[in-house]
Chain A
Amino acid sequence: MSKTLVDQIISQVLFQYDLRPKNVHLYGKVLKVETDYGVFALKKTTMNKEQTDWFIHVIRRLDRIGFPFFVPVLPTKYGDYSVFDGNYTYYLMPWHEDHRTFRHQVQPEETMVEEVAKLHSLTERTQDYGEDSLDESFRLLKERWDLRKLEVEKYVDEIEKNIYYSPFELTLLTHFERTQQLAGQAEWHLEQWLDLAKEKKKYRSVLCHGRLNRSHACFDEYGTAYFINFEKAVLDTPARDLAILFRHYFQSRPWDEQEGQHWLNIYEKHFTFFDEERHLLMSYLLFPENIFQMIDHYRSPERSKPEIQMVMKLERRLLTMNRVHRFVNQVQKNT
């Protein structure tokens, strides 16, 4: 698409906010728009009407309940919270600079864990659930995991027939038994969750951000995080959000089980897990999906990374997997 056409589309969208862009810079899918009335972030998304309606509902709910840690979405001059140009859905927010250094000592991971706990606490809802729906949730996840395991086992059976193994294959084969053990443990925790939840006959849901990671929060200079990108927000178990956030931390920075426990403690200071939810979190964290994804990537014909990089990445993920195991053991000991 030509620059003029892009500029025209931006101008058409911003017209509905009565804004005229002076300068526009693209940061991924977000446009930083400088105008006479301030600096704004214009997000371009592929949300359909139904998804957009839900997204707006979420944003308005956050506003209504007084959750302070999110970047608000601004209405158009007609009162809409999004603009559809026939192809994409756009929404506008005030521009928040994302700080990486702060005025005081701040650990972004701790801040995010604390704020997401507050989000969960403010949106908590307990619902009565029939055994059937719990069984159904269990069955669906178990079936998905069984299928993933089967695919990987089939692949491992195939490569075991090779006379010579590639470095990636060798690394995988060396650690495959361990991977299977952890998948088994994940299933055990999932069964524990099912049994305990059935006893309670109640299920707790919260508003989950759905894609928590460092890039979906803007930190101000004092270290307060403001969440953005609620497009995948969903009402679900709090374990879902925390598992996504922890998995992101586990992959993106050095950590150990003490630190993991520390993050969990911060979360539970504001929003304590029920036993069954803790089991669900452990089960989500233990299932070696990250390793399985590496295998998919390695086998993919579109793979661009050289073998050596794939091996290094797999090794890192295996190390993380073992750390997660130690972290889970420690959590179990402490509860």
Chain B
Amino acid sequence: MIQLAFIENHYPFREFKWIEEGKIIETEKGKKRVEIWTDKETLEAHIEWREKLAKETDSLTDRMIQTANGDKAVETDTGWLTLHDYVDHPYPVTSNIKQTGRFLGMYASVKMDNNVGHTDIANWQEDALFLRKFIKVKLKQKGLIERLRVEAEDRVKKAEVLFKEESTEEPASVLSIESPSQAKMIHGRMYWENRGKSFQNKYLVLRSFLKEWVEANGTGELTHLLDGLDETFSLREQKGRHLLAAIVYPHEYISFMNWLNEAGESAEIEERVNSLRKEWDIMKTLTERIAEWIREPERRLSNV
């Protein structure tokens, strides 16, 4: 456990008090969040990511507060400690849909100096082999899963067409997003809290954000979100096709099957199948809505 005195010795604040031991402290300059990093490479990638996100999007984000010596992190016995602002007021994303979309586009455009994490949109070859295999376990949902498998194979083919045609874009990764609730508000402005653990292909991160968005807010205002996204991450031509490819690709099915192969006949199966069906439906809706949005006369793309 990190001692308060340790933080006190390194950071230029006068008052320190735990609000949540090991996680949040109260200082005379507001609440600060403590993060512990066990891996230096991850820490360095996060420092670079947060600096770049702040500079390239001109937004407020939970960058590393400098120590009294001007360092971004302090070495501890177990790893490294960093300090961040703690902002708990949520940003009203649903009242600022276009702005949220614009931010999302800028977020997906941030370029790290060196690619970290998974930069590919899919494991095309591995997944193709995987999808050809029939499930061996005996389940009452076997029929449904088999139907989904056939459809998933078809989805891979469609994604392949969308993704591989005239693809000139360099694969790039950005920090994963857990939920739109990472958007907080301070002094009337969005403050982005980076909660993602890993770096992923930018289209997969957008896919995941859109999924969370639809799950929480439905598809009613999706067009506005896409309009905002398009302003900073043009969905015309290649980028639009790649986003569609990421959504069409049956990641949810592959991830479910990976779980099933490991877990076998688990008690969780019912819950997992429901969650797969839910995500499957969201992806279907998203595909339709995005394709529809792209097909609007003023945004018409070729070959979509």
Q: Which residues of A contact B (CB under 8 A)?
A: 8, 11-12, 15-16, 18, 75, 77-79, 84-86
**Across the interface, do B30 and A18 meet the contact criterion of CB distance under 8 Å?**
yes
**Across the interface, do A78 and B187 meet the contact criterion of CB distance under 8 Å?**
no
Nearest Cβ distance between residue B299 and chain A, in whole angstroms? 26
Give Cα distance in the complex from A11 to B64, angstroms: 20
Residue among A12, A75, A77, A79 making CB contact with B189, cutoff 8 Å: A12
Q: Which residues of B contact A (CB under 8 A)?
A: 29-30, 51, 54, 58, 60, 63-66, 70, 72, 85, 186-189
Number of A-B contacts (CB under 8 A): 32
Residue among B29, B51, B188 making CB contact with A12, cutoff 8 Å: B188
Residue among A8, A75, A84 making CB contact with B187, cutoff 8 Å: A8
Interface centre among A12, A18, A85 (most CB of B within 10 A): A18
With A18-B29, A86-B58 already in contact, the answer to whether A12 and B63 are too (CB < 8 A) is: no
With A79-B70, A85-B58 already in contact, the answer to whether A12 and B65 are too (CB < 8 A) is: no
Known: A79-B70, A86-B58. 5 other contacts (CB 8 A): A8-B189, A12-B60, A77-B66, A78-B63, A79-B72
With A12-B60, A86-B58 already in contact, the answer to whether A78 and B66 are too (CB < 8 A) is: yes
Nearest Cβ distance between residue B231 and chain A, in whole angstroms? 14
Residue among B58, B66, B186 making CB contact with A15, cutoff 8 Å: B186
**Across the interface, do B66 and A11 meet the contact criterion of CB distance under 8 Å?**
no
* B65 cross-chain contacts in A, Cβ below 8 A: 77-78
Give Cα distance in the complex from A77 to B187, angstroms: 17
- Looking across the interface, which residue of chain A has its beta carbon closest to that of B58? A86
- Looking across the interface, which residue of chain B has its beta carbon closest to that of A18? B29
With A18-B30, A78-B66 already in contact, the answer to whether A12 and B58 are too (CB < 8 A) is: no
Nearest Cβ distance between residue A65 and chain B, in whole angstroms? 19
* A77 cross-chain contacts in B, Cβ below 8 A: 65-66
With A84-B58, A86-B58 already in contact, the answer to whether A12 and B66 are too (CB < 8 A) is: no
Give Cα distance in the complex from A78 to B60, angstroms: 11
* B188 cross-chain contacts in A, Cβ below 8 A: 8, 11-12
Give Cα distance in the complex from A18 to B187, angstroms: 13
